[in-house]
Amino acid sequence: MTEQGGTIKAPRGLAGVSVSDTRISKSSPDGGLVYRGYPIGELAAKATFEETAYLVLNGKLPTRAEFRDFAASLAALSKVDAGVFDIMRSLGPGAHPIDVMRTGVSALGSLDPERSRPGRERSIESKMAVLAANSRRVPAGEQPRLPADGEGFADTLLSMLTQREATQFERWVFERVLIFYMEHDMNASTFTVRVVASTLADPYAAASAGLASLKGPLHGGANEAAMDMLLQVRDPGDAKKFVDSAVREGKKLMGFGHRVYKRFDPRARLCKQYLREMVQRRGGDDGIYRVCDAVEMEMWERKRIPPNLDYYAAPIFYLLGIEIPLYTPIFAASRVFGWMAHYNEQTEENKLIRPDSTYVGPTGLTYKPIDERGP
């Protein structure tokens, strides 16, 4: 970075620039990822979604009583006002699910009976899964699917998404993927949430902004694009030809590359193991795993670019019978816990985020009346 007229010139995209101190999570180029000091592999092997969410929000794992109260509060606050569904329904079947969720969260800001700040944050965390599961159904005119009593957060979301009976192992895998999506230091949507939080806007505004940022294919939308890509390949024997063609034409293969991870994404590595075991336990066709593996090997051979979480999360969702347009809403239903943790961290030691910019446009222009500017 260089000094220019009293400001610091940062690299494009803020690559390599630390914009804040955080105690929540950190990824590293060698494939490391910690949540509040716990390695992601440790949490994936031993923790539940609710335990991990409590950790991310509060900085420590819950006691038995804290776990019970936290899980109960998520279930108790998950009921969405019918007026929110009415607004979502008015968008129509052509609306993008993330746009539907963003509109739903924005509506919650006016219709939600919760008024205390902690209550509003917990309300958003609880209701986001319901909004995600219904982000296609309700605009299409179908009745909303609502949470069943007595199920954990991950099982409830999966049941609302598919209405099919998943095996115990499949439910466990889905919960791991949600844990991986929950938090990932200063990514684009989290930074967006912190910018909004720094203005002291309410958590509904911050979450709505996070959803807007998440929609892009270079962030949350990458899991949908990755699955669409994998379905184009179909046969592992076509992987080399597919990758060669993409590289030759300068196309970006979704699900590959990361701003931080240069050797491997630890979440993708674990999801690959889960996908392989899912396929093995089902028996029969293992084509989807072999396609994923073949394309991954070709990309590493050609570009030395590893897959990221989206690449292996997508086929897991696909095997679970989840519609592709719902992949990014699933991301949001989990990431909202990380967003609220960052919202709190930002506001606790707040300073308005207001960077400078370097003007490179023209100067000294003289105004001309409209009739002197040509026809």
Phi/psi for 163 (5° steps) reads 55, 30
SS (H, E, C) the chain: CEEECCEEECCHHHCCCCCCCCCCEEEECCCEEEECCEEHHHHHHHCCHHHHHHHHHHCCCCCHHHHHHHHHHHHHCCCCCHHHHHHHHCCCCCCCHHHHHHHHHHHHHHHCCCCCHHHHHHHHHHHHHHHHHCCCCCCCCCCCCCCCCCCCHHHHHHHHHHCCCCCHHHHHHHHHHHHHHCCCCCCHHHHHHHHHHHCCCCHHHHHHHHHHHHCCCCCCCHHHHHHHHHHHHCCHHHHHHHHHHHHHCCCCCCCECCCCCCCCCHHHHHHHHHHHHHHHHHCCCCHHHHHHHHHHHHHHHHHCCCECHHHHHHHHHHHCCCCHHHHHHHHHHHHHHHHHHHHHHHHHCCCCCCCCCCCCCCCCCCCCCHHHCCC
**Residue 339 to residue 192: CA distance in whole angstroms:** 9
**Residue 325 to residue 337: CA distance in whole angstroms:** 21
Neighbour-count burial for 21-35, b at 16+ CB within 10 Å, e otherwise: ebebbbbeeebebbb
Provide the annotated active-site residues: 219, 258, 310
